[in-house]
Amino acid sequence: MSKAVATVDLSNTTAAYHAAATVAPAGKLLHISGQPGSTKDGNVPNDYESQIHLALLNLRKIIIAAGASVKDIVKLNVFIVDYDSTSPKHRRHIQKFLAGHRPAMTLVPVPKLAVASWLFEVDAVVAVPEAPAPVVLPAAQETADVIIIGAGLAGLSAAHDVIKAGLTCIVLEARDRVGGKTWSQPSANGGVIDLGAAWINDVSQSKMYALAKRYGAELIEQNTEGNVVLQDFDGKCTPFAYGDLPSFDSLTRKHLAEIRDMVEADCQAVDTWRPKDTSLDSLTFEAYLRSRGASEIALATGAVWTRAMLGKDPKDLSALYFLNYCKSGGGLLAMRSDRKGGGQHLRVRQGTQMFSIGLASSLPEGVVRLNSPVQAVVQDGTHSVKVQAGAVYAARKVITTVPGPVWADSLSYGYYTKAMMEFRTPFWVERGFCGLAQSFVGPASVIRDTCSPADSKYVLTCFMSGDAGAAWGALPDRERELKLIEQLGTLFGADNLESQFVELTTYEWVKDEFAGWGCPCTSLPPGVLDTLGGDGLRESCGNLHFAGTETAGEWKGYMEGAVRSGERAAAEVVKGLNAGVVSRLCGHRDKQAAPNGAQNSEADCWPTADQDSAARLTPSLLLPICRHWASLAVGFPSQRSPDKRRSNPPALDSLGGSRVPSSAPPGQPPPHCRARRQMQSPALPLDCVMASAEGRDRIAFESLESFWSLGFEVEQELAMRGSRSGPPPL
């Protein structure tokens, strides 16, 4: 697709994040009024950076409602009260919002705005693109009850349960391997390196522990014997016993303990499944900490948490989102702990990909299709969903486990890379350290021991995250090694570490399309949870269901969350498909008699009331999704190797190749789908859908929009169409 908005630059403007001017083809122009940083109910937080996040979200909602995207912005004007040119805090957030797009932009410092509490306002001109033609997929070559997109832990767990329920299932996986973000590489020097997930526990991660037992995982307990070390702002390192607070003066220690305990208490107060607190969601995590009196050192500690857990800085996260994230894993303390019940208690000697390989191997042959990147998903008003992944497949239900940034603008990853530094000896243990280190300066923000003594493998895993990690990631390979050797030497007081160093193994998930360009979990800026509601990410849309670790209630962002989300989505589709049978037995058939004397064997694909209403929603609403997915078809390379030219583990022979036999000739739907086809309702335009929207339609509609864009509001769509009058108050 050609770029609608072209930049005009002068020789000295090309490096700026905005252009000197832009040109857009003649067509529809959308002029957006000034958007302040208010929540959807009009609340305005005191904090300037939180207001920037909210204003940009409000702008995004309108752009989406008009059928455009951020890339269609021609001109941005930002109005900043008491602008401090020495500290342009807006720049970071606008750059992230624009994601590489460079509109023309004007910054207007102002003494005050229309409302005294407003500190930031943004308006825009947007070139609205022509609506693309609907995606029409050819007849399906294969059908199944359920198609699952993605063979990570979520997809494979879902497939396991779907098949257990007696339904047929196809898993379409883009890569040439199963496992997604579980990826274990045999090391040249023996042992295995986990490029993705590494830790589980045997207390609160019951699903993972059950898989570990089922597949015979050899578990290695995390080393917590010995000292931890903290590297301060000035680079100075101080050791302290594991479980204690760092060795600051007593007042600082007291303050840090109070802030930590307050965050713990606040996260425990948040609802795990449906977090709701407008005032917390209107603030960044940093603003929340400041508002509770956190000192600079407490803020830096908070940054270590958010970077180590999400690769993000506290100024980029909604406070409510982060607190809920902690709650999902039992709380801040549990998630940060390396001890029993903690997020980092046990590692797997064989590597965590064994869980995915085990699950995949337990599925019937031909269920998992490797090298099958999905390019389009279409609900076209019939009661089946078509999925294109080279071939076209049709199913009664689809579960997608594709990571969030692919389908939702507001979901994003931070920078997060694990750098595994292997040494000839565990020199840190010999010096009385357990291997855990935290740094306020980097380049690594957290370091952990990941030795496998049985393999004589001595590794420190360095978590390269946030801004410091991203700066390290931009260095050439050798400099990366040298920087880490230097930092580790400083942290553990070891000279001449180079002589001990064996090799660095790393993989940048941030460059991996099929990972959604990052890891370990996506997060949200202020305002989005409040807009969508706590269930927004996992609500099904018609026959499309959502799984994947970020949709989990418990252990979001972890393998445990992935498995639980897959099982939850599988339960939804099994219930939905079984409900078809039940409603027929209950007399639903009288309302919509199966044509041509359909027999019982066809009954389970008769639409239930729910399925019917969902189908009515689909044609016009799914187009944006189809477009988006279709655009993904372009430039999806095959899976990359981790740095050091390591190759993928060989594709599992038993998982590749063969196709699930179809019960119908090619191009024909199997018998059980015919009745549904004949009963399809005509496509309704969006306005009709809205006019007839009842409770469930509306929920489906909203969740559909959250799928596409996160942050769209039905009210806004109606306002755009003139169904509601009156601009928002200035």
H or E stretch covering 620? helix 609-632
Query: Structure tokens of 351?
Result: 């590597």
198 binds ligand FAD (CB under 6 A): yes
The residue from 124, 169, 385, 519 that contacts ligand FAD (CB under 6 A) is 519
Compute the least distance from the CB of residue 416 to ligand FAD, in Å.
Answer: 6
Of residues 34, 196, 525, 534, which one binds ligand FAD by CB under 6 A?
A: 196
The torsion angle over the Cα atoms of residues 657, 663, 664 and 666, rounded to 10 degrees, is 0
- Give the nearest distance from C-beta 150 to ligand FAD in angstroms: 3
174, 220, 395, 436: which one contacts ligand FAD (CB under 6 A)?
174
Is 503 annotated for ligand binding? no
* 717 annotated as belonging to a binding site for a ligand: no
Distance in angstroms (rounded) separating the CA atoms of residues 234 and 38: 38
229 binds ligand FAD (CB under 6 A): no
- Strands (E) in 224-277, as ranges, are 227-231, 237-241
- 472-511: contacts with ligand FAD (CB under 6 A): 509
Our finding on whether 197 is near ligand FAD (CB under 6 A) is yes
3-state secondary structure of 393: strand
**Residues belonging to the chain:** 730
For residue 711, the tally of other CB atoms under 10 A from its CB is: 29
CB closer to ligand FAD out of 52 and 552 = 552
H helix or E strand, kind and range, residue 193:
strand 192-194
Q: Which stretch binds ligand FAD (CB under 6 A): 152-160, 237-245, 274-282, 441-449?
A: 152-160
**One of 280, 374, 544, 700 touching ligand FAD (CB under 6 A):** 374
* Using rule CB under 6 A, residue 173 touches ligand FAD: yes
Instruction: Tell whether 322 is in a known binding site.
Output: no
User: Which residues, numbered 389-428, are part of the site for ligand FAD (CB under 6 A)?
Assistant: 401-403, 418
Candidates 42, 19, 33, 235; CA nearest to 123 is 33
| Nearest residue (CB) to ligand FAD, 122 versus 437 | 437
Is 515 one of the binding residues for ligand FAD (CB under 6 A)?
Answer: yes
Say which residues have a Cβ less than 8 Å from residue 582's Cβ, sequence separation at least 6. none
Q: Is 408 annotated as a binding residue?
A: no
Instruction: Write b or e for each residue in 558-592: b if 16 or more Cβ atoms lie within 10 A of its Cβ, otherwise e.
Output: bbbbbbbbbbbbbebbbebbebbbebbeeebeeeb
Interacting positions 540-579 with ligand FAD (CB under 6 A): 548-549, 557-562
What is residue 673's DSSP assignment? G
173 is in an annotated binding site: yes
- Pick from 163, 172, 378, 700 the residue near ligand FAD by CB under 6 A: 172
Number of residues counted as binding ligand FAD (CB under 6 A): 39
Does residue 386 touch ligand FAD according to CB under 6 A? no
For 511, the token pair is 């460059």
Q: What's the number of CA atoms in the CB half-sphere (13 Å) around residue 532? A: 31
Please select the residue that binds ligand FAD; options are 520, 525, 542, 607, rule is CB under 6 A.
Answer: 520
Cβ closer to ligand FAD: 325 or 428? 325
Least CB distance to ligand FAD at residue 417 (A): 7
Question: Quick check: 468 and 304 in contact, CB under 8 A?
Answer: no
The answer for residues whose C-beta is within 8 angstroms of residue 338's C-beta and 6 or more apart is 222, 223, 224, 242, 344, 345, 436, 448
Bind-site residues for substrate: 463
Bind-site residues: 173-174, 374, 463, 550
Residues found near ligand FAD in the complex (CB under 6 A): 149-155, 172-175, 180-182, 196-200, 373-374, 401-403, 418, 509, 514-515, 519-520, 548-549, 557-562, 632
